[in-house]
Amino acid sequence: MASPPVLFLRNIRLTFGATPLLTGADLTVGEGDRITLVGRNGSGKSTLLKIAAGLVEADDGERFVQPGKTVRYLPQEPDLTAFRTTLDYVESGLTPGDDHYRALYLLNELGMTGNEPTASLSGGETRRAALAHVLAPEPDILLLDEPTNHLDLPAIEWLEGELKGMKSALVLISHDRRFLENLSRTTVWLDRGVTRTLDRGFSHFEAWRDQVLEEEERELVKLDRKIEAEEHWMRYGVTARRKRNVRRVDLLADLRKEKREHRGSLGNVKMAAAEAEASSKLVIEAKSISKSFGDRPIVRDFSIRVARGDRIGIVGPNGAGKTTLLRLLTGDLEPDSGSVKLGLSLDMQTLEQKRDSLDPETTLADALTEGKGDWVVIGEEKRHVVGYMKDFLFSPEQARTPLSALSGGERGRVMLARALAKPSNMLVLDEPTNDLDLETLDLLEEMLGDYRGTVIVISHDRDFLDRVVASVVMSEGDGRWLEYAGGYTDMLAQRGRGVEARKTEKSAAAPKKDAASAAVAPPKARSKLSFKDKHALETLPGRIDELADEARRLHAVLDDPGLYGRDPSLFAATTEKLATSEAALAAAEEEWLRLEMLREELEG
């Protein structure tokens, strides 16, 4: 017998203004369930999750949470402004019975110290702190809205492992297909205000969705034929009995109402790139290029030949230098040594990871036409801006909407629309999948498949890389980059491991050093730690936090790309301080680990 649900929503209805958003949505969450909630951008997924979390009240319907069960919700845009540090924020979600050490453990696993001031966090740091905040209490139900946004591959794969090991029931919204495939066991599709449930994971969703839509089309054809038959009877069969006639007239009215009220499936994005004349066969030739900032090598002795039509993915953890490598290959940045040769007739278009080039006060129409009237020129074709907007799922009413009023997914579609309208034979895409819904991702992948030019893409989306690229350039650490044939999965098979953060590499090496230390450790006859060792064991965590915070601040200074040009002496001094700080941090971590192992050995 199935256990009762720990949370359910039944017949949820909600209207914003005159537009119904939810018209009969259901959601049932049982113990340990793994549910993915899918649907188009704007279909109401985030709103439904907020209703489940108790943050938004529906106009109608029922919400139930089993008494005593805890619910934690991760929003797309967490607000940390009421807290001084990230640790303060994470610990605020704990109850007296929770393990407070878990808060610091999760922050450390996510590459943070807990001492970061919340007022100066980046988008990625905010997302990591928010994840630690909802994971630390180990609640009965976790509601996660785009948990992989702003995370690099090591953090995404760590999060997958952490969620798999938790007993909490999960409800996930994400555009990361591989993440959903690895975690989900049930799929809930929110479409035109109502939900449909598939008792299988996300990997089965798309085939099921297509089957549902095909069946709906067949039913619609049957309805059209029935209306046509009734209209024919109205014209030519009104001589029948009066009572029967009235009933047939009413039936026709009902059929017409059903047809009128049928909400068809939402339109598809129509995506095509304006292509310029073909470039030369050799697009990029890099020979033994190297680039360092101070003593830190970003690219070391790297060579590659990029031919016309190649599809190349660049992969690595945050901070590895992916964007620097991309700038070197496209001629935007000079290497310290080696050479980069660009092919002839190269017409390059770039899609930035950040949306900074979009003026928030500009209207949607002006952003697409660059303020030059009502027409968009795509290759040799001239199109009215409203028609072009419809290709990217924007309504005519949004033409004069300022970009600041658009969602993240809508701004992503604007960037795509702008980039694809300009003629090109080479596309350079930096995290193009951010904030896009799954249907738009499908169309982007199809467009790139049909594109005859060259594509270089930076992405943390494993499924997107598998579907789009023919080779992967992978960061091996310490400025070394290697090219692997195939997509991300092929790279894993050849390399034997995935993308690793520098912290992970350090941790992996630690046990070998500790084994050597254990060989010269004091004999077991010693019954307890010395006063000096005990004091060091108690004080080292604070010292480690201070050193990590200092290293983070120094990294932030060096992240300024214009620093070296403005003030070479400050750059050199900061680099030297960073090297000293990181060496001291590594030594403190090793000493703490040695003492902790010794303590466990003595107490055991």
pLDDT at 286: 94
- 280-319: per-residue pLDDT in tens? 788 999 999 999 988 889 999 999 999 988 999 999 888 8
- Going by C-alpha positions, the residue among 334, 357, 339, 338 that lies closest to residue 565 is 334
Determine the pLDDT at residue 72: 96
Name the band, by pLDDT with cuts 50, 70 and 90, for residue 178. very high
For residue 244, what pLDDT is reported?
Answer: 46
- Higher-scoring residue by pLDDT: 420, 295: 295
- Angle between helix axes 531-558 and 568-603 (nearest 10 degrees) is 150
Identify whether residues 230 and 353 lie together within a single domain. no
Asked if pLDDT for residue 117 goes beyond 90, the answer is yes
Q: Is 270 a domain residue?
A: no
Instruction: Decide if 487 is inside a domain.
Output: yes
Q: Is 356 exposed, middle or buried (0-12, 13-18, 19+ CB in 10 A)?
A: exposed
44 and 159 inside one domain: yes
Give the whole-angstrom CA distance, residue 582 versus residue 544.
10
The more confident residue out of 507 and 560 is: 560
State yes or no: pLDDT of 529 exceeds 70.
no
Beta strands 282-293; 19-29: pairing state: unpaired
Q: What is the pLDDT of residues 574-598, one digit of tens each?
A: 877 887 887 788 778 777 777 777 7
Distant-in-sequence contacts of 198-201, Cβ < 8 A, 24+ apart: 201/34, 201/36
Query: Based on the domain organization, do 218 and 127 belong to the same domain?
Result: no
The reply to whether 463 and 516 lie within a common domain is no
Residue 335 pLDDT greater than 90, yes or no: yes
Tell which of 495, 512, 545 closes a domain: 495
Q: For residue 540, what pLDDT band results from cuts at 50, 70 and 90? A: confident
More confident residue, 363 or 416: 363
Per-residue pLDDT for 361 more than 70? yes
What pLDDT sits at residue 128? Answer: 93
Arithmetic mean of pLDDT, 482-492: 90
Number of domains in the chain: 4
Q: What CATH number did the domain enclosing 481 receive? A: 3.40.50.300
Q: Tell me the pLDDT of the chain averaged across its residues.
A: 81
Instruction: Report the C-alpha gap between 80 and 103 in whole angstroms.
Output: 15
The pLDDT value recorded for residue 1 is 44
Using DSSP, state whether 40 is helix, strand or coil: coil
Rounded mean pLDDT of 476-487?
A: 91
Position 379 scores a pLDDT of 65
More confident residue, 360 or 27: 27
What's the rounded Cα separation, in Å, for the pair 317 and 321?
A: 9
pLDDT digits (tens, 9 = 90+) for 436-445: 777 778 878 8
Same domain (yes/no): 337, 483: yes
Residue 511 has pLDDT above 60, yes or no: no
Q: Output the six-digit token pair for 91.
A: 């610990």
Is residue 396 located within the same domain as residue 253?
A: no
pLDDT level of residue 522 (50, 70, 90 thresholds)? very low
Last residue of a domain, one of 181, 207, 233: 207
Predicted pLDDT of residue 223: 65
Both 255 and 192 in one domain: the answer is no
List 143's β-bridge partners, or say none.
73, 171
Residue 457, pLDDT above cutoff 70: yes
Per-residue model confidence (pLDDT) at position 506 = 35
Phi, psi (rounded to 5 degrees) for 101: -65, -30
The pLDDT assigned to 525 comes to: 43
Cα–Cα distance for residue pair 48/32, rounded to 1 Å: 20
What's the mean pLDDT in 347-363? 74
Q: Give the residue numbers of the binding site for ATP.
A: 39-46, 316-323
* Mean pLDDT computed over 138-147: 95
* Mean pLDDT within 130-137: 95
Question: Is residue 269 assigned to a domain?
Answer: no
Q: Residue 595 burial by CB count (10 A; 0-12/13-18/19+): exposed, middle or buried?
A: middle
pLDDT band at 543 (very low <50, low <70, confident <90, very high): confident
- To the nearest 10 degrees (0 to 180), the angle between helices 242-261 and 205-236 is 150
Query: Of the segments 69-73, 331-335, 342-346, which one has the largest average pLDDT value?
Result: 69-73
* C-alpha 503, offset from chain centre: 21
Residue 164: exposure state from Cβ atoms within 10 A (0-12, 13-18, ≥19): exposed
User: What is the average pLDDT across 387-407?
Assistant: 80
Instruction: Select the highest-mean-pLDDT range: 159-173, 405-419, 590-604.
Output: 159-173
Question: Which of 48-57, 367-376, 464-473, 487-496 is predicted with the least confidence, judged by mean pLDDT?
Answer: 367-376
Q: What is residue 69's predicted lDDT score, i.e. its pLDDT?
A: 94
Q: Spell out a b/e string for 201-239, using b for 16 or more CB atoms within 10 Å of the CB, else e.
A: bbeebeeebeeeeeeeeeeeeeeeeebeebeeeeeeeee
What sign does the dihedral 126-132-137-139 (CA atoms) show?
A: positive
Q: Same domain for 445 and 435?
A: yes
Query: Is residue 275 situated within a structural domain?
Result: no
Reference 187, options 8, 22, 34; nearest CA is 34
Average pLDDT over residues 515-533: 48
In a shared domain, residues 191 and 50: yes
What's residue 569's pLDDT? Answer: 81
The binding site consists of: 39-46, 316-323
Same domain, residue pair 322 and 222: no
Predicted confidence band at 516 (pLDDT cuts at 50, 70, 90)?
A: very low
Please give the span between the terminal C-alpha atoms of the chain, in angstroms, as a whole number: 45
- Is the predicted pLDDT of residue 528 greater than 80, yes or no? no
Closest among 507, 496, 498 to 465, alpha carbons compared: 498
CATH of the domain at 588: 1.10.287
- Tell me the backbone φ, ψ of residue 429, rounded to 5 degrees: -115, 120
According to the model, what pLDDT value does residue 512 have? 37
pLDDT tens, 83-113? 999 999 999 989 888 888 899 999 999 989 9
Cα separation, 222 vs 259, whole angstroms: 11
- Flag whether 2 is in a domain: no
Domain identity same for 541 and 440: no
pLDDT for residue 258 is more than 90: no
Q: pLDDT at position 355, please?
A: 53
Residue 185 lies in a domain: yes
How far apart are the C-alpha atoms of 363 and 403, rounded to whole Å? Answer: 6
Q: Does residue 267 sit within a domain?
A: no
Is pLDDT above 50 for 508? no
Cα(352)–Cα(286) distance, rounded to whole angstroms? 23
Q: Are residues 146 and 254 in the same domain?
A: no
pLDDT, residue 260, reads 52
Residue type, 524: K
Which of 473, 495, 517 lies at the terminal end of a domain, its last residue? 495
Tens digit of each residue's pLDDT (9 = 90 or more) over 242-256: 444 555 555 555 655
Residue 430: the pLDDT is 85
- Lowest model confidence (mean pLDDT) among 99-113, 405-419, 522-536: 522-536
8 A C-beta contact, residue 30 and residue 2: yes
Classify residue 134: in a domain, yes or no: yes
Average pLDDT over residues 334-356: 81
586 to 477, 507, 520, 543, 591: CA distances (angstroms): 17, 10, 20, 11, 9
Each residue of 218-234: pLDDT tens digit? Answer: 777 676 676 666 565 55
pLDDT above 60 (res 517): no
Highest mean pLDDT among 184-188, 346-350, 509-513: 184-188
Instruction: Give me the domain span that covers residue 125.
Output: 7-207
**Residue 134 pLDDT class (50, 70, 90 cuts):** very high
